[in-house]
Amino acid sequence: MTSSKDTDTYTQTLRSAQDAVVQAFRTWTDTAKGAWATAPGAATPEVDPQQVVEQVFDFAEKMLAVQREFAKSLAATAASATGAARQQSESVVGAVRQQVEDTTEAVKGAIKTDK
Residue 68, pLDDT above cutoff 90: yes
- Quote the pTM value: 0.43
pLDDT band at 49 (very low <50, low <70, confident <90, very high): confident
28 domain-assigned: yes
30 domain-assigned: yes
Q: Which amino acid is at 100?
A: V
- What confidence tens digit (pLDDT) does each residue in 5-22 have? 889 999 999 999 999 999
103 domain-assigned: no
Residue 54, pLDDT above cutoff 60: yes
Report the sign of the C-alpha dihedral through residues 106, 110, 111, 115, in that order: positive
Residue 105, pLDDT above cutoff 90: no
Domain count of the fold of the chain: 1
5, 13 Cβ separation under 8 angstroms: no
Q: What is d(CA 95, CA 89) in angstroms, rounded to the nearest whole number?
A: 10
